[in-house]
Amino acid sequence: MPQKSSFQKSQLGEIIAFLSKVSINNESTDYSTDQEYVVEAIIDLVKAKGRMDIMEEFETPYIHPLITIQKWVDQLKLIADEALNDTMNQ
């Protein structure tokens, strides 16, 4: 069952900005380890929203999380937007 999101607006803003960049660049997206915290926040958000279809791919050992993000970027943007709306309505 999906949990209420406890993400802060600033954190969601970073997630949305990162996903927008991925959406534009997709397979050409540069990735560096200093972005790992955003990737982890995306994974936490997916888990909090109960999206097991996406979560299963994040948990697949041989698939890098950025590949999963690239594949699901449109759905992830919707999830992040929904979470941001939830924080504004609290």
The pLDDT tens digits of the residues spanning 7-35 come to 788 899 999 999 999 988 877 777 788 88
Q: What's the mean pLDDT in 58-69?
A: 91
Q: What's the mean pLDDT in 51-79?
A: 93
Q: Which residues are CB-neighbours of 73 under 8 A, at least 6 positions away?
A: 19, 22, 23, 26
Are the CB atoms for 78 and 19 separated by under 8 Å? no
Integer CA distances (angstroms), 35 to 4, 61, 65, 66, 86, in order: 25, 19, 12, 10, 24
The rounded mean pLDDT for the chain is 87
- Name the residue with tokens 């949305």: 16
Q: What's the mean pLDDT in 58-67?
A: 90
- pLDDT of 90 reads 72
- Considering the chain, what percentage of its residues have pLDDT values greater than 70? 92
